[in-house]
Amino acid sequence: MVTINLPLADGRVESYALRNSPLNVPKAAAARPQRIAYAAAHVVADPLADNSPVGDAAIDWERTIAFRDYLWDLGLGVAEAMDTAQRGMGLDWRAARELIRRSLDAARTRPGALIGCGVGTDHLPPGPNVRVDDVIAAYEEQIEAIEAMGGRVILMASRALAAAARGADDYARVYGRILAQVKEPVIIHWLGEMFDPALAGYWGSRDHSIAMQTALAIISDHSDKVDGIKMSLLSKEKEIGMRRRLAQGVRMYTGDDFNYPELIAGDDAGYSHALLGIFDAIAPAAAASLARLAAGDRQGYDAILAPTVPLSRHIFKAPTQFYKTGIVFLAYLNGLQDHFIMIGGQQGARSVIHLAELFRLADAARMLNDPDRAAHRMRAVLATAGVH
């Protein structure tokens, strides 16, 4: 039995014995499920580069693309250059464009590989002199670049628009202009303020019910250019309410990392597809559970996915924008990268207490694919905090 000393919130250290065997997911189980499922993928930093909070992102391209291959091997899609990849928190537009180019090149070598590409306005810093027309031009610049590479667009929320807009009409003008131009239907991303405080009041109101009306009207007016909407408000009630009001043919992609099993399974009135950051961390469970759901085995689906929810809720706990640290830490524990270094130094955004609890919850969810290796790597991290 593998044991490890883990710190507790009260300052004590406990001897913890790992309790669960890893979830075994053969690649043959990764048939295309009934639900469209994207994992928003993280980037692997170059650990030997000068990764500073204010410098350019130094990325280990080989390991980053290898992680996308891992997701595709499991039958999941890749949502590229999204907030899970530290977009806007270390990954700028220049690096994001290169990441998208490399990922699209890799996808072309894999028949059936699903990939969507994050498009935003992050090269346009918000400020008092930024106008709505500047936001439109910024979106157009990124869309032109991604479409020229052959990428499908995931239309990310804009900090610059949140700062410049004076009401719902400005959102209608920006999205109407952009949707009229895109070559293929896009996925719109409504990222809540719990993920990015700069996006508070998106769609022209801090009241989510009023904001939802604006978003629904925009989607209805341009439904032929909208594949779906990814909703990241961490509220199953709001997502279900919006899902039931979407224009015919427009999909809901859950971005709810707290309630995803229920939302994906759905109800008599419909279900959500998935575009989730947590699917980066729990990819084997996501693949296996979706295969069970496609086979009509709801009990098997719940048995696999339900134990991952406490892990996800912990990784995404407030301040939620630092969830990427937990995502990368679990990839490190599982040998999907050889270090726990992040661009911008974000590995320091969560405490060792947080990481120790993540380790326990990952064990409970059967998400440690090699317990001996995971414990060895956990000990190395804890040693830096004086825990032996």
Question: Per-block average pLDDT, block size 10, for the chain (388 residues)?
Answer: 94 95 69 84 94 81 98 96 96 97 97 96 95 98 98 98 98 98 98 97 98 98 98 98 97 98 97 98 96 94 97 98 98 98 95 98 97 97 94
- Listed by start position, the domains of the chain span 3-383
Residue corresponding to tokens 């989607």 = 219
Query: Residue 353 belongs to what H/E stretch?
Result: helix 352-364
Angle at 237 between CA 74 and CA 291, to 5 degrees: 20
DSSP assignment of 292-323: HHHTT-HHHHHHHHTTHHHHHHHHT-SSGGGH
Note the pTM of the prediction, 2 decimals: 0.96
Q: Cα separation of 271 and 305, whole Å?
A: 16
**Rounded-to-integer distance, Cα 69 and Cα 75, Å:** 10
Structure confidence at residue 53 (pLDDT): 74
Residue 336 token pair? 């999907």
Phi (first) and psi of residue 213, to 5 degrees: -60, -40
Amino acid at residue number 312 = S
Q: What is the pLDDT of residue 146?
A: 98
Q: Which two tokens stand for residue 106?
A: 């890799």
* Predicted pLDDT of residue 229: 98
> Can you list the pairs that 174-180 forms with residues at least 24 positions away whose Cβ atoms lie under 8 Å?
174/132, 174/135, 174/136, 174/139, 175/218, 175/222, 176/218, 176/221, 176/222, 177/136, 178/136, 178/139, 178/140, 178/143, 179/218, 179/222, 179/225, 179/226, 180/222, 180/225
What the block records as the tokens of 179 is 């949707």
Using CB atoms within 10 A of its CB, is residue 128 exposed (0-12), middle (13-18) or buried (19+)?
Answer: exposed
Enclosing H/E stretch for 262:
helix 260-265
pLDDT at 26: 59
> How many angstroms separate the first and last alpha carbons of the chain?
18
CATH code for 3-383? 3.20.20.70
Q: What is the pLDDT of residue 30?
A: 46
pLDDT of residue 318: 97
**pLDDT value at residue 1:** 82
Strands 3-7 and 13-17: antiparallel
Tell which residue, 190, 346, 350, 323, has the closest CA to residue 257.
323
Give 112's contacts (C-beta < 8 A, 6+ positions apart). Answer: 32
Upper half-sphere CA count for residue 388 (Cβ side, 13 Å): 1
Q: State both tokens at 5.
A: 């000393």
Which pair of tokens denotes residue 206? 């801090």
CB within 8 Å of 64: residues ≥ 6 apart: 43, 44, 99, 102
The label of the residue with tokens 């590229």 reads 80
